[in-house]
Amino acid sequence: MTSALVWFRRDLRAHDHAALYSALRDHQRVWCAFVFDSDILAPLLQKGLRDDRRLAFIHASLVQLDEVLRSRGGGLRVRHGRAVEEIPRLAAELGVDAVYANRDYEPAARDRDAEVASRLMAAGCGFVDCKDQVIFDRDEVLTQAGRPFSVFTPYRNAWLKKLDATALAPHPLEPHLARLASTPAGGMPTLAELGFTAADPAALPLSPGVDGAQRRLRDFVARIDDYAATRDYPALNGTSLLSVHLRFGTLSVRQLAAYAWGRATHMNSAGARVWLNELIWREFYQMILWHRPQVVERCFKPECEHIVWDDAPQLFAAWCAGSTGYPLVDAAMRQLNSSGTMHNRLRMVTASFLSKDLGIDWRRGEACFAERLLDYDLASNNGGWQWAASTGCDAQPWFRIFNPVTQSEKFDPKGDFIRRYVPELAAVPNRFIHAPWRMDAAQQAACGVVIGRDYPAPVVDHAVARERTLARFKRIAPILAAD
Ligand SMILES: Cc1cc2nc3c(=O)[nH]c(=O)nc-3n(C[C@H](O)[C@H](O)[C@H](O)COP(=O)(O)OP(=O)(O)OC[C@H]3O[C@@H](n4cnc5c(N)ncnc54)[C@H](O)[C@@H]3O)c2cc1C
């Protein structure tokens, strides 16, 4: 009789789970484990970040996962310590033949897994990593010349060409669940025991766990056909809000892609087609990160390392706090600060504003988002930031610079989203809501807001900032043009 340990990480569900499926198929006894990794948590505590929504989301999702596994005769063994030590130790204690985990594409996770694999191997135990969080990974989608893509559209076309029922097939756990090994209850540390602030899962902006994911999915499938028309308007409930569930694996990407593909193909749904496209963007950035891990530190386009960014601590602080004087930018940053969420259109607008209006290095904005986003995902965040700053693969051309006022007029025409997060502008008439500094003193008095006192004056003049950015990029244009 052989046995295995399944190590859960960003895949917190007990259905359609590649590593769990493979372990149950190949072994007669299977244990399940999760490690609160002190290599990840200790730096947060050192920075004083005790109130972390993501950890609260993970914790609540783990409680649900443990309940589900327990109802099938298993349960979760939870450890707190360095994963590189805890997993080999647990594998030795249980005497398993192999550890199974779903593959992670982030450089630090790859290093961690390589270390765990080599420690296990030294002890005579195997390490099996499975593809789970994407439909296609590593070298599965390459150019005809056998190289990784760096432009999205041909990548998407090749991805779609490869897509078939096999790639989308779920991993059925049911037949083998009796192989789950029982685990003593009560091993889950509280957030307080981990050193973090206790949080009420009901207070999270998005409900955690598989239950939360399924509720959110049901809500979205009822409006997926409208996605193409509504997805760009932050005041509307137009997008799926499933990114956090994809991040922590509380739902299966195969389930989502299969649904979108079926609806696009059989019902000719434009919304489903566009939404599937977004799932492919996610995989595109995961693929980039796998093949070019250097993007974590550096611009995808090496020439862009010659850009001279501004060191502007006060402007950066104003951007972080949502007090730039540009209402849509400020509303977006305040939404991020208060809830950990931000609409895709607004991520583009705020990222463009930081890098192209304030002239600040995209890496500083990326780090700010990384700290605050509930759905923070290294590949997508890095890809999104480098896209907006024009330093990335298939990025926004450097001479295309979002105008924060026209973006606001176009995507929040009546200022509904702005008024939700910038209450001091609530009474400003629609025609001034996107640029309130254009009101004269009498108009400001009439709506009860004095610009510069109740709400900031713009920290930069967009027209001037635009020229500075064009000049900044023109300095490196000769090398960029060769790109
Ligand atoms: C500067 C910037 C930073 C970003 N940081 C992150 C991040 O840390 N984590 C993250 O998941 N997404 C990130 N994105 C991508 C995108 O903004 C979010 O995925 C999206 O807003 C999540 O909302 P949703 O689930 O309602 O998306 P939907 O519109 O419903 O899209 C469905 C899914 O497709 C994926 N997706 C959608 N748009 C993109 C995109 N542009 N790039 C990659 N995947 C996409 C997400 O997994 C999303 O859940 C970033 C984009 C930008 C411009």
- The rounded Å distance from CA 384 to ligand 1 centre is 8
Cβ atoms of 199 and 51 closer than 8 Å = yes
Helix (H) or strand (E) holding 96: none
| Cα(255)–Cα(273) distance, integer angstroms | 15
Other CB atoms within 10 Å distance of the CB of residue 392? 23
Residue of 282, 286, 346 to mutate, ligand 1, most atoms within 8 A of C-beta:
282
pLDDT band, very low/low/confident/very high, at 200 (cuts 50, 70, 90): confident
pLDDT tens-place string over residues 394-415? 888 999 999 999 999 999 999 9
Same domain, 312 and 326: yes
479 compared with 350, residue with greater pLDDT:
350
Average pLDDT over residues 270-287: 98
Helix (H) or strand (E) holding 436: none
Same domain, 154 and 229: yes
Residue 178 makes CB contacts below 8 A (sequence gap 6+) with: 73
| Residue 472: inside a domain | yes
Catalytic residue at 344?
yes
| Residue 185: inside a domain | no
| Cα(215)–Cα(405) distance, integer angstroms | 36
Same domain, 53 and 100: yes
Catalytic residue at 387?
no
> Does 366 have pLDDT greater than 90?
yes
Cβ atoms of 97 and 126 closer than 8 Å = yes
Residue of 252, 335, 360, 380 to mutate, ligand 1, most atoms within 8 A of C-beta:
380
Mapped onto helix, strand or coil, the DSSP state of residue 358 is coil
Residue 394 confidence (pLDDT): 87
Q: What is the reported pTM?
A: 0.97
Same domain, 17 and 119: yes
- The rounded Å distance from CA 363 to ligand 1 centre is 18
Helix axes 270-291 and 152-162, enclosed angle (nearest 10): 110
Catalytic residue at 268?
no
Mapped onto helix, strand or coil, the DSSP state of residue 66 is helix
- Extract the tokens encoding 363: 């890496």
Same domain, 21 and 37: yes
Mapped onto helix, strand or coil, the DSSP state of residue 373 is coil
> Does 483 have pLDDT greater than 60?
no
- Residue whose pair of structure tokens reads 């029922």 in the numeric block: 165
Q: How big is the chain by its Cα radius of gyration, in Å?
A: 24
Same domain, 319 and 400: yes
Same domain, 269 and 341: no
Beta strands across the sheet bearing 98-102? 76-81, 29-37, 3-8, 98-102, 126-130
Cβ atoms of 65 and 111 closer than 8 Å = no
Can you name the residues that pair with 127 across neighbouring β-strands?
A: 99
Residue of 225, 239, 243 to mutate, ligand 1, most atoms within 8 A of C-beta:
243
Catalytic residue at 278?
yes
Same domain, 380 and 231: no
Average pLDDT over residues 2-14: 98
Same domain, 308 and 389: yes
Average pLDDT over residues 226-240: 98
Other CB atoms within 10 Å distance of the CB of residue 329? 29
| Residue 196: inside a domain | no
| Cα(73)–Cα(180) distance, integer angstroms | 6
Closest CA to 123 of 103, 100, 101, 97: 97
pLDDT more than 90, % of the chain: 95
Mean pLDDT taken over the chain: 96
pLDDT tens-place string over residues 354-363? 999 999 999 9
| Cα(77)–Cα(90) distance, integer angstroms | 9
Q: Of 69, 101, 131, which one is at a domain's C-terminal end?
A: 131
Same domain, 145 and 261: yes
- CATH number of residue 454's parent domain: 1.10.579.10
| Residue 29: inside a domain | yes
Q: Of 131, 154, 184, which one is at a domain's C-terminal end?
A: 131
| Cα(227)–Cα(276) distance, integer angstroms | 11
pLDDT band, very low/low/confident/very high, at 481 (cuts 50, 70, 90): low
- 4 Cα distance to chain centroid: 30
Residue 380 confidence (pLDDT): 98
Q: Where in the sequence is the domain holding 251, given as residue range(s)?
A: 133-169+212-291
Q: Specify the number of domains making up the chain.
A: 3
| Residue 385: inside a domain | yes
Same domain, 29 and 60: yes
Same domain, 259 and 341: no
What one-character-per-residue DSSP string does 219-270 give? HHHTTGGGHHHHTT-TTS--S---HHHHHHTSS-HHHHHHHHHHHHHHS--H
Residue 199 confidence (pLDDT): 83
> What residue spans of 292-440 are helical by DSSP H?
313-321, 327-339, 344-352, 362-372, 378-388, 404-411, 416-421, 430-433
Q: Contacts by 145-148 with C-beta closer than 8 Å and gap 24+? A: 148/287, 148/288, 148/291, 148/292
- CATH number of residue 245's parent domain: 1.25.40.80
Q: Is the CB of 375 under 6 A from ligand 1?
A: yes
**Ligand 1 atom with the shortest distance to the CA of 242:** 25
| Cα(16)–Cα(10) distance, integer angstroms | 14
Measured in degrees and rounded to the nearest 5, phi and psi for residue 466 equal -60, -45
Average pLDDT over residues 198-214: 92
Give the length of the chain.
483
Residue 175 confidence (pLDDT): 87
Q: Of 104, 131, 158, which one is at a domain's C-terminal end?
A: 131
Cβ atoms of 2 and 27 closer than 8 Å = yes
